[in-house]
Every structure is written in C-alpha cells, then in structure tokens.
Amino acid sequence: MSVNGQATRPAARPGDERISLGQGIRDSLVVTRRNLLRMLRIPEVVVFGLIQPIMFVVLFSYVFGGSITLPGAGNDPDAYRAFLMGGIFAQTVTFATAGSSAGIAEDMQKGIIDRFRSLPMARGAVLTGRTFADLVQTAAILLVLALVALAVGWRIHDGLPKALAAFGILLLFGYAFTWIGALIGLSVRSPEAATSGGLVWLFPLTFVSNAFVPSENMPGWLQPVAEWNPFSATVLAVRDLFGNLPPNSPTPDAWPMQHPVLASLIWSAVIIAVFRTLAVRKYKRATA
C-alpha cells in the first residue's frame, strides 16, 4: 500500500506485537480467572465430573472387586480396593480432556476467541489459561474423590510426603492431557463433536492398562501394550507412592514398570511439549 507515492507498512494487529514473558503469564492468568468464574457459574459441570469417578469406585469396589484376585494379595478383601484407587485417580484426571475439548470448541463457535484475538495479548495465553483452569477444576475433583475413597476404606500407607508427590504426578499427567483436549477442541466444528472426540480414545487407553486389572492377567500379546502405555506408568507410580501395592506383587520387566515415577514424568513432559506445540500452531492458523 502507498500514500503519496511512498510505501507504508500495513497496520499491525493487536496480537502481532512482541509480548514479553511476564505479559504472557499475566494474560494466561487473566484467561484462567475468566474460565474459573465461568465454571463457578455452571456448577453442574463440576458435579457431573464427580459423579462418574464415584460410580466407578462403587461399582468396581463392591460389584467386581470380589471376583478379581490380585497376584501376591492372597484372599485380602481390601487389597483390590487399594489397588483400584490408583487407576480411578488416573482415569479421573485424564477424563478432564473432554472438558478442555468442549470448552475450547464452544469458545471458537461463539466467537469468543475472535474477541481475544482483537486484544493486545499473547496468542498462547488463551490456551494456557484454559488448561490452567481445567487443572484447578481437576484438583478440586481429585480432592473430593480422595475423600470418597477414604470413606470406602482406601488408605495411604507410606506417609504424607509421598502421597503429595503422588497427587502431584496425577495433576501433571492430567495437565498434559488437557493439551490433547485443546488440540481436539481446535480441530472440530462443534462442542458435541469435541466431547465425543475427547472421550472415545480414552476408554481403550485406560482399559488396556493396569488400571483395573494387573497386566499379567492379560493375553501375552497385549501385555507389552499395557506396560508401555503412559497411563500404566502413572497408575503404578501413584500406587507405589500411596503404598497400595500388594506386598508380594510381581513387577513386569518393561522399563516403565521398573521405573514408574520417572516414566510417568517423562511421558507427561513429552505429551505437554508435543501437544502444546501442535495446539498453539493450530490456534494461530485458526485465528489468522
């Protein structure tokens, strides 16, 4: 474009200015606050998020628990309940993926993302703020679920520091999966499709793992899949930190099962690095 024969640069959009790291963090916290206030105005989301894991605890503990025998546990009726809770905790934090997917898809559909785009803010702050808000909601659900688990007989046996480390691993793993949800939410056209897309792949991921039954009970060809499943590493890590493993339970030879805490941390870091990069790129293309 030229004015009086001289070339001029096009006007920069508000989101094109170079944003400092401090400004990006502040923008992310503002978006986090906005999403948390929205969640508080719709408490049904949190309530329904609690119902499913509580149902799993009750059903698996009292309906299926009596028919599942754990290696090394003998006839202890409480062994499966202790074994189960690590899987339920991990399943709960990963199912937050569906909420992230639906929330971002809804914002895209309603044009809220376009409003953010018109403001002088960091592009990645919209997604980071959303995932932070989902992390806070997941922590609240995890706290309530832990209280329910204590009510049905689950106990922590290795002390508070290790228990806090276990909850930290769960929250990090759940946060990593919210970035998968962010990418799904940006890739579909409606919140309904985002909810389905955020859940359908989670069921085989959680059930082809050691969450509900030991991997040794699976067919031989399926055991390596379960043992290298990121979900299995996290489940075994929190069981170990909570002190919920049967005393004589065998440990598979796969590296993630021999070093579950380290494996879970590595898996979480890799998932965040990969899917955050993909989600931010998708967001920039969608709002270009």
Cα distances from 130 to residues 30, 43, 123, 125, 240, in angstroms, run 10, 17, 12, 8, 31
List, for residues 40-68, the tens digit of each pLDDT value. 777 777 777 778 778 878 777 777 666 67
The answer to whether position 15 is within a domain reads: no
Q: Sorting pLDDT into bands at 50, 70 and 90, what band is 19?
A: low
The answer to whether position 241 is within a domain reads: yes
Distance of CA 118 to the CA centre of its chain: 30
| Res 270 pLDDT > 50 | yes
As for how many domains the chain has, the answer is: 1
| Res 262 pLDDT > 80 | yes
The answer to whether position 56 is within a domain reads: yes
- Those residues whose C-beta lies under 8 Å from the C-beta of residue 191, and which sit 6 or more positions away, are 102, 103, 105, 106, 109
The answer to whether position 179 is within a domain reads: yes
pTM of the model: 0.85
Spatial separation of the C-alpha atoms in residues 13 and 27, rounded to whole Å: 17
Residue 271's pLDDT is 96
List, for residues 107-144, the tens digit of each pLDDT value. 777 777 767 766 667 767 888 888 998 899 899 889 98
The answer to whether position 9 is within a domain reads: no
List, for residues 191-212, the tens digit of each pLDDT value. 888 878 878 888 889 999 998 8
Q: 6 has which bridge partners? A: 3
Query: Where is 3: in which H helix or E strand?
Result: strand 2-3
- Those residues whose C-beta lies under 8 Å from the C-beta of residue 48, and which sit 6 or more positions away, are none
| Res 14 pLDDT > 70 | no
The answer to whether position 117 is within a domain reads: yes
Residue 237's pLDDT is 96
Q: Give the range of the structural domain holding residue 185, as residue numbers without chain letter.
A: 41-287
The answer to whether position 23 is within a domain reads: no
